Structure 1
Amino acid sequence: MEDELKDFIHYLIVEKGLAKNTIMSYERDLKSYTKYLINIENLLSLNSVQRAQIIHFLGFLKDQGKSSKTLARHVASIRAFHQFLLREKSVDHDPSVHIESPQLERSLPKVLNMQEVETLLDSPKNTDHYGIRDKAMLELLYATGIRVSELIGLNMGDVHLTMGFVRCVGKGNKERIIPIGKAAAQALDYYLKEGRSQFLSKKHQEEAFFLNHHGNRLTRQGFWKILKRLTREAGIEKELTPHTLRHSFATHLLENGADLRAVQEMLGHADISTTQIYTHVTKTRLKDVYTQFHPRA
């Protein structure tokens, strides 16, 4: 089973071109699946797997207290794995074909209101190169809605201030071009002139746009620490995630009349149904405003 799993992971990297985190998620899910098949079901071959064994595995996960979201992710991983094995003729049947994913309740993304966004964006101070960098990052996230992984993946050649756009590579290595506004362009320009060079040593050249104190590419964990600190300093009590500014970007665009397809393209969503979740957010916010301000609400 180990060899088949290695072949599948290689396929995801080379042919599908999936993001590193996605591949790690597949690998983690399928390692627990194959381990269960060997140790609990006493199976030595993936060709011996039947629908019942997969259902038993999902029951095993449920008994461990795993959420519906986790179960659904495992089902997707298992299904993709068995489909791959069948295409490669490593097995003669697909036991996952009639396995249904658990129903998920789609929770509405948490967003900041305009005042909270302004407060957060004003939190970093241009008193040193760290503040200059942090200001540029937050302005860019809110201006473009890019993911944090795309933000830290930016290289010097991806930011075009004269033309007013950034080029980023998202999930599945899909490239997209996103316009940036004046406020973000000014913050990025100031970072390039006054901040970035102070992170670099004379001997060290780095193509990454945003750098850490070692002069290397900023990591996702590094950004997360910065965001938590800035949220605390801004006095924002909402629980923020690295995706909060992305959610706020999409919601505020739709609230101000942006076309859903345009927002989908800027966010890099493959399916418009993913983008439609933000229309529910705007309706919920409208209801809150009505309840708060209408005299007979």
Structure 2
Amino acid sequence: MSNITFNTPVVSARLTTKRALELFFACGDQAAETFFRRTPGLTPNEMGVTCFLRHSYTGSLLTIKKSYAPFIVRMLNFLFDQGVPDFSKATPEHITNYAAHLKKSGLKPSSVQTHLAVVKAFYSLMIDYGMLVGNPAKVFRNRTSRESAQAKRVAGNKLPGALTKTLGETQMDELLAKISHEAPIRDAVLIAFLYYTGARAVEVARPLTWGNIYDTGEDGWFVFLVGKGGKEREVYVPPQLLDMLMALRRKIFMVTPYVAAPGLNQFPVFSNHKKTDVPLDYNGIYKVVRKWGDHADVRLSHGQKNLSPHWLRHTNATHLLDKGATLEEVQASLGHANITTTQIYAKHNHRKRAAGRHFES
């Protein structure tokens, strides 16, 4: 990747999310270097955020608008208020102070980690573009990794049975953020699909086709899955996953997102890289998940590696219950024949749902 140099003076100004999005749309599909030559007078922060948003875009405008753009603008404006109008002048201390600022702002721990994951990705990309020397987020990343590992060990030792193979929300956020930047789009979407739907690997390898994903109108988009014993079920597809699926479809078939394409109904959603009509089989799905789990250094409390599709299924159930879903809703989503199977996932969060908490209201 060629280096980008600044030919314009630093102009002290706070950046807005609106301005960041204007630059992203103005740049479009052209190379960042070309856009900068045609748009003189941009500040380093404007150039940096343009590069980052363009690089991060995989077809999901919702992710750009709701996550990447506001998260990066928030960090840049924090630096501005600290007397650092140029992101490349930030120090590890500045990034550490920003993390402390996020924690004090009332955000949930998982949200703080998501913000920081975006910041880390931003600075890593800026190094790739040659826009700075030295990564101010690196020291902080090493420290938080150690703290996170310690927290995972403590939490993991309290979870019985299969729940020791459940990723925490912070772990899952970090995994999704990492693969969205570093994995091929098929692999990134596959892992996100297994997590957001709780589908079994065998259900995806059956194969799952584009005809199995459909718009129901007011109720939103659903995916049709066939589980154990031929049991059929519909699972809701949340917007963030739907955006990724549409980006994958566009990448493979050059089809406009959300436009009906009946001709693709028999094609597998997750196919061989070179043959779009050959589905990824059961072993291939496991290899993809294991590869990127290892790459992201996802581990169990006792240090075992090898992330599997069933980890993601366990994680889906646990996170849904944590977010307030009922046992019956999770049972239907996962296709459990008996609700006692679903109840296993509810045991770990009894403290969060203690009846006495109702007195607080």
Identity of aligned residues (%): 34
Asked if 1:133 is matched to 2:186, the reply is: yes
CA distance in 2, matches of 1:142, 1:242: 8
Structure 1 residues 124 and 137, CA, compared in 2 at 3 Å: closer, same or farther? Answer: same
Matches within 5 A, 1:178-197: 178-195=235-252
Structure 1 residues 231 and 173, CA, compared in 2 at 3 Å: closer, same or farther? Answer: same
- Find the counterpart in structure 1 of residue 24 from structure 2: none
Structure 1 residues 117 and 167, CA, compared in 2 at 3 Å: closer, same or farther? Answer: same
Alignment partner of 1:279 out of 324, 346, 350: 346
Structure 1 residues 196 and 269, CA, compared in 2 at 3 Å: closer, same or farther? Answer: farther
Alignment partner of 1:232 out of 294, 319, 329: 294
- Find the counterpart in structure 1 of residue 171 from structure 2: 116
- Supply the RMSD in Å over aligned alpha carbons: 2.8
Instruction: Give how far 1:286 is off.
Output: 8.7
CA contact (8 A) 1:210 1:218 kept: yes
| 3-state SS of 1:108 partner | helix
Instruction: Give how far 1:176 is off.
Output: 0.5
Asked if 1:244 is matched to 2:322, the reply is: no
Structure 1 residues 286 and 237, CA, compared in 2 at 3 Å: closer, same or farther? Answer: farther
Amino acid at match of 1:121: L
| 3-state SS of 2:267 partner | coil
- Runs of 5+ in structure 2 lacking a partner? 1-159, 255-264, 355-361
Asked if 1:255 is matched to 2:312, the reply is: no
Instruction: Give how far 1:107 is off.
Output: 2.1
CA contact (8 A) 2:194 2:309 kept: no
Cα distance per residue 1:144-200 (max 9 Å; x no partner) = 111111122211210125741101111111111111111100000000001367xxx
CA distance in 2, matches of 1:279, 1:234: 27
Structure 1 residues 286 and 224, CA, compared in 2 at 3 Å: closer, same or farther? Answer: farther
Structure 1 residues 272 and 115, CA, compared in 2 at 3 Å: closer, same or farther? Answer: same
CA contact (8 A) 1:136 1:188 kept: yes
Matches within 5 A, 1:212-231: 212-215=272-275, 216-231=278-293
CA distance in 1, matches of 2:235, 2:324: 18
Instruction: Give how far 1:282 is off.
Output: 2.5
- Find the counterpart in structure 2 of residue 147 from structure 1: 200
- Find the counterpart in structure 2 of residue 166 from structure 1: 223
The aligned length equals 175
Structure 1 residues 281 and 241, CA, compared in 2 at 3 Å: closer, same or farther? Answer: farther
Instruction: Give how far 1:236 is off.
Output: 1.8
CA distance in 2, matches of 1:249, 1:154: 19
CA contact (8 A) 2:211 2:266 kept: no
CA distance in 2, matches of 1:253, 1:223: 23
CA distance in 2, matches of 1:196, 1:187: 14
- Runs of 5+ in structure 1 lacking a partner? 1-105, 198-204, 288-297
